[in-house]
Structure 1
Amino acid sequence: MLDFVIGMTICVLASIALIEGGKVVGVKIGLSQRMVFFVIGAAGTSLPELMSGLYGVFYSPIPDLSIAVGNGLGSNVCNVTLILGLIALATMVFTKQTYVEIAPKQSIKEAMDLLVFFSVFFVIVALTKGFIPVWLNILLICFYIFTVYKSNQLSEVEDEEEEVPNIALPVAILLILISIAGFYFAGDFVVSGVQSISDSMGIGSGAVAEVFSAIATSMPELITALIGIFWFKDKEAGLATLTGSTLFNSTLVIGIPGIANTVLTGETYQMSNENLMFTLPMQFVALVLMIKFFENGKFAFWEAVALVLCYILYSFMVLGVVA
Structure 2
Amino acid sequence: MLEATLWATAIVIGLVLLVLSGDKLSDKIVDVARKAGVSPLVISIVLISLATTLPELLTSAVASYQGLTGIALGNALGSIFANIALILGIAAVIRPLKATKAAYENSLVMLGSFFLVIALSLDGTLSRLDGAVLLGAYAVYLLWLLKKNARKDVELESAERATVIDYAFLLFLGLLLVLGAKLVVYGGTNIAKAIGVSEFVVGATIVAVGTSLPEMTNAVYGALRERGSISIGNIIGADIMNALVVLGVASVIRPLQTGASILTVFLILAVMLPMVISLKRIHGLGRSMGIYFLAVYFIYLVLMFSGVEL
Q: Give the TM-score normalised by the residue count of structure 2.
A: 0.79
Aligned equivalents of 2:83, 2:133: Cα separation in 1: 23
> After the TM superposition, which residues 282-301 of structure 1 pair with which residues of structure 2 at under 5 Å, given as runs?
282-297=267-282, 299-301=285-287
Select between 42-51 and 278-287 the one with higher mean Cα deviation. 278-287
1:312 aligned partner? 298
Inter-CA distance 4–69: structure 2 relative to 1 (3 Å threshold) = farther
1:74 aligned partner? 78
1:265 aligned partner? none
Inter-CA distance 138–299: structure 2 relative to 1 (3 Å threshold) = same
For the 8 Å contact 1:8–1:219, the answer to whether it is kept is: no
Q: Paired residue for 1:203, among 200, 205, 208?
A: 200
For the 8 Å contact 1:19–1:37, the answer to whether it is kept is: no
Aligned equivalents of 1:303, 1:25: Cα separation in 2: 30
Select between 184-193 and 134-143 the one with higher mean Cα deviation. 184-193
Matched residue type, 2:281:
N
Q: Is 2:240 the partner of 1:253?
A: no
* Structure 2 segments unaligned to the other structure (5+ residues): 1-6
Aligned equivalents of 1:147, 1:173: Cα separation in 2: 20
For 1:53-93, what per-residue CA distance to the aligned partner results, in whole angstroms no more than 9, with x for missing partners? 233345xxx432333322211111011111111101111xx
RMSD: 3.5
Inter-CA distance 234–203: structure 2 relative to 1 (3 Å threshold) = closer
For 1:41-64, what per-residue CA distance to the aligned partner results, in whole angstroms no more than 9, with x for missing partners? 111111121122233345xxx432
The number of residues matched between the two structures is 294
1:217 aligned partner? 211
2:90 aligned partner? 86
Q: Paired residue for 1:146, among 140, 161, 168?
A: 140
Matched residue type, 2:301:
S
Q: Is 2:228 the partner of 1:235?
A: yes
Aligned equivalents of 1:29, 1:142: Cα separation in 2: 26
2:50 aligned partner? 43
Aligned equivalents of 1:238, 1:42: Cα separation in 2: 11
For the 8 Å contact 2:41–2:230, the answer to whether it is kept is: yes
Q: Give the TM-score normalised by the residue count of structure 1.
A: 0.76
For 1:248-298, what per-residue CA distance to the aligned partner results, in whole angstroms no more than 9, with x for missing partners? 1122122112222x2xxxxx22233xx223322222222111112112316
Aligned equivalents of 1:51, 1:155: Cα separation in 2: 29
Inter-CA distance 122–32: structure 2 relative to 1 (3 Å threshold) = same
Inter-CA distance 131–193: structure 2 relative to 1 (3 Å threshold) = farther
Aligned equivalents of 1:271, 1:140: Cα separation in 2: 15
2:181 aligned partner? 187
Q: Paired residue for 1:34, among 41, 46, 52?
A: 41
Aligned equivalents of 2:309, 2:30: Cα separation in 1: 43
Inter-CA distance 113–179: structure 2 relative to 1 (3 Å threshold) = same
Say which SS state the counterpart of residue 200 (structure 2) adopts. Answer: coil
Aligned equivalents of 2:139, 2:185: Cα separation in 1: 29
Say which SS state the counterpart of residue 215 (structure 2) adopts. Answer: helix
1:95 aligned partner? none
Inter-CA distance 292–150: structure 2 relative to 1 (3 Å threshold) = same
